[in-house]
Amino acid sequence: MSITFALIGNPNSGKTTLFNQMTGSNQHVGNFPGVTVEKKTGPVRGHKGVNVVDLPGIYSLSPYTSEEVVTRDFLISDKPDAIINIIDATNIERNLYLTLQLMELNVPMILALNMMDEIYGNGVAIDIQKLEEQLGIPVVPISASKNDGVDELTHRAIKHAELKSLPKNLDFCCGYVHNAIHSIAHLITEEAKAAGLPLRFAATKIVEGDQPVMEKLKLMEPERDIIQHIVDDMEFHLNTDREAAMADMRYAFIENICKACVIKVGHSKEHLRSIQIDNLLTHKYLALPIFLGIMLVIFWLTFSVIGSGLSDLLSVGIDSVTAAVDNALSNVNVSPALHSLIINGVFAGVGSVLSFLPIIVVLFFFLSILEDSGYMARVAFVMDKLLRKIGLSGRSFVPMLIGFGCSVPAIMATRTLPSERDRKMTIMLTPFMSCSAKLPIYAIFTAAFFTEYQSLVMIGLYIMGMIVAIIAGLILKKTIFEGSPVPFVMELPSYRLPAAKSVMLKMWERAMDFVKRAFTVIFIATIIIWALQSFDFGLNAVADTGDSMLATLGKLVAPIFAPLGFGDWRAATALVTGLTAKEAVVSTFAVLLGASDASSVIPLLSQMFTPLSAFSFLTFTLLYMPCVAAMAAVKRELGGWRSAVLVMSFQTLTAWIVAFIVYQTGMLIL
């Protein structure tokens, strides 16, 4: 017998952490809304045939956001065997609002009361047995981050699903709302059955004015008129609108439950501590300077203290392996062409990129701590006011924030935005956020030309990307994306000490992603680059790379970049190969300059660049169109290559204009 659980909860309730504990899956865990964009499925450890589906974090079953639509469609259409509703025990009143709506679906359901470790430590008591009686469903106390109570939850959920035990208490309404729900329920009994909708759920959604449910029931005009009279009567007597009436009814029931089941001495320590910290970190004037200061410290630690030292050690190891392979190939008299391919192509290209692995890992170690601690949610809150000036809301900051890691999931994360206008505009601006794949380029250029100011130049590039996104947003707002952004509501979770397991998982995922790209995309790209720069169009080996196929092709593109200060065909070629993966820019330079590793590339770059032209090159690299994978994601999200090409053209043109301004202004000043 197979069993499928639907795992549902509010954002920041610990849902994805519980999913990882139940399945052992290395899923991304974040402490801000919008992390889970699509449902994820995994087998429950130790239970054959039992699967759990991790659905997007939502606050209700109203179809206002894409997360709510995905979750609701799954529950109604896919019909899971049981629902595991995880709620934050430290904020039980708000979390139970979704619980009551889930119960109306009349599906076997179990409540996972999470973060109980925080409850115990703050003088708060919850009567679990009484809570079960009041709700009519099983309640299991857990601490997902510590894996406490998860096995008990799994066993009870399986038993509950096998017995097909339905919620015992569905009628928690009273007064005029009660009359409206039950009157409508009697009216639509046959229609709800034909549409495959639970009767209580359909009735309450009609009271709320839920249009998708109304359409699915295929009600006739006389029935619609009767329903409207029932709702009008309810609104008249309660002196409020239909949605507010339903919300008041649910919260009144929740209030009674909490009075009976929850004993609070006062605010939790975490909540009080969060308020004190937020007085500083979300301050009207200090919030942004503090954020920039934190990022500056992170870049300084990454590039000047920890990451650079580890990167140097790895470079020594790569050099030793390269030298050993070089000697071995010489000893066995391998042909010069194959020798050159392996040493000057594969080892030079892949090795030059791999040496930056420690920098990537260290940077994501710090970013994971900021994310899991709850600080990044504050940054989104602070950024809301700024983003509104360019026609977006703070909700768009979540995809942009993900864009600092990789543009592909960032572009996909725009699905969580409720407005099509906001979604398209965010897709156009997100690639201006510097992804981690560009870090090797920044590192090698700052080491070559800005040694004393490496961290400052690095954070300057990140800030430049954000400034350009703001200016581009203002232009788009005044032209093709006129209108106002959707209102933004965001829960600020309490600050928490990041779980070591979560941080290590993120570091491991980023490291593995980097290594896979090095041995797939970068590997293939370096072989192609080596072949193109080693032969002419007659496939004759060339003594001078300037006579190669690559040089011929590069010289056709190079004049475009001459006004930006880097008209060398090798620089143009590196930018073109960077479209496969941004790390390929470094490997291309390594191959074309005949360097054995990344450290050997650094002194050779002075042949092609001055400090000013180097910064212009970095500016263009920061802003021009993303890699092929990101472009495919843009095409998929916008529905075709025409829109994707327009986005890519906009980004590349913006990059050229900004780099031109940087270089020409620098020439005038210097």
For residue 495, being part of any structural domain is answered with: no
Whether residue 383 lies inside any domain: the answer is no
pLDDT: is 83 or 244 the higher one?
83
Q: What is the CATH number of the domain that holds 108?
A: 3.40.50.300
| 515-519: average pLDDT | 74
Classify residue 413: in a domain, yes or no: no
On whether both 333 and 195 belong to a single domain, the answer is: no
Same domain, 108 and 185: no
DSSP code of residue 4: E
- pLDDT, residue 545, reads 72
Radius of gyration of the chain (CA): 29
In one-letter notation, the amino acid at residue 511 is: A
Give the largest CA-CA distance in the chain: 95
CA dihedral sign of residues 172, 178, 181, 182: positive
| Phi, psi (rounded to 5 degrees) for 639 | 85, 20
Judge whether 200 lies within some domain: yes
- Examine the domain organization and report whether 260 and 297 are in the same domain: no
Residues 447-471 have pLDDT tens digits of 888 888 887 888 889 889 888 988 8
353 domain-assigned:
yes
**pLDDT > 70? residue 409:** no
User: Residue 607: exposed, middle, or buried by beta-carbon count in 10 A (0-12, 13-18, 19+)?
Assistant: exposed
User: Domain ends where: 119, 138, 163?
Assistant: 163
d(CA 529, CA 573): 9
| Domain assignment present for 421 | no
Q: Say how far apart CA 614 and CA 566 lie, in whole Å.
A: 8
Angle between helices 500-519 and 521-534 (to 10 degrees): 30
**Local structure of residue 143 (DSSP, 8 states):** B
The answer to whether position 89 is within a domain reads yes
Residue 255's domain spans which residues? Answer: 175-264
Residues 118 and 244 in one domain: no
Tokens of 228: 């409207």
Confidence class of residue 1 from pLDDT cuts 50, 70 and 90? low
Q: What percent of the chain has pLDDT over 70?
A: 90
Axis crossing angle, helix 569-577 with helix 584-592, rounded to the nearest 10? 140
Three-class DSSP category at 49? coil
Report CA torsion sign: 466, 471, 473, 474: positive
Same domain, 575 and 440: yes
Q: Do residue 354 and residue 474 come from a single domain?
A: yes
User: With 90 as the cut, is the pLDDT of residue 371 above it?
Assistant: no
Quickly list DSSP for 268-310.
-HHHHHHHHHHHHHT-TTTHHHHHHHHHHHHHHIIIIISHHHH
Name the least confident of 382-391, 601-610, 624-633.
382-391
403 has a pLDDT exceeding 90: no
Worst-scoring range by mean pLDDT, 270-284, 398-412, 423-437?
Answer: 398-412
Question: What are the tens digits of pLDDT across the range 154-169?
Answer: 999 999 899 888 888 7
The pLDDT, as a whole number, for residue 656 is 94
Residue 30 has pLDDT above 50, yes or no: no
Q: Is there a contact between 86 and 7 (Cβ–Cβ < 8 Å)?
A: yes
The CATH number assigned to the domain holding 258 equals: 1.10.287.1770
CA–CA gap between residue 626 and residue 623 (Å, rounded)? 8
**Residue 218 located in a structural domain:** yes
Same domain, 506 and 569: yes
Region 73-86: mean pLDDT is 89
3-state secondary structure of 561: coil
Tokens of 270: 């975490």
Distance CA 548, CA 529 (A): 11
- Do 35 and 150 have their domain in common? yes
Q: How does pLDDT run across 84-116, given as a tens digit for each residue?
A: 999 988 888 889 999 999 998 889 999 999 988
pLDDT class for 67, splitting at 50, 70, 90?
confident
Pair 186, 237 in one domain: yes
Per-residue confidence (pLDDT) for residue 229, from 0 to 100: 92
Q: What is the pTM of this model?
A: 0.61
CB 393 within 8 A of CB 422: yes
Residue 596 banded pLDDT, cuts 50, 70, 90: low
Same domain, 95 and 144: yes
Same domain, yes or no: 522 and 659: yes
Beta bridge partners of 7: 54, 84
Region 389-402 average pLDDT: 73
Rounded to an integer, the average pLDDT of 531-536 is 80
% of the chain exceeding 90 in pLDDT? 12
Dig out the tokens for 649 from the structure: 């053209």
3-state secondary structure of 573: helix
Q: How confident is the model at residue 346 (pLDDT cuts 50, 70, 90)?
A: confident
pLDDT over 80 at 621, yes or no? yes
pLDDT digits (tens, 9 = 90+) for 137-155: 999 999 888 888 999 999 9
How would residue 208 be classed by pLDDT, with cut points 50, 70 and 90? confident
Strand, coil or helix: what is 109?
strand
The pLDDT confidence band at residue 31, using thresholds 50, 70 and 90, is: very low
What pLDDT shows up at residue 89? Answer: 85
Asked if 332 and 193 sit in the same domain, the reply is: no
**How many domains does the chain contain in total?**
3
- Mean pLDDT score of the chain: 82
Does pLDDT of 572 surpass 90?
no
What pLDDT shows up at residue 36? 40
* Tokens standing for residue 386: 């700024």
State yes or no: pLDDT of 33 exceeds 50.
no
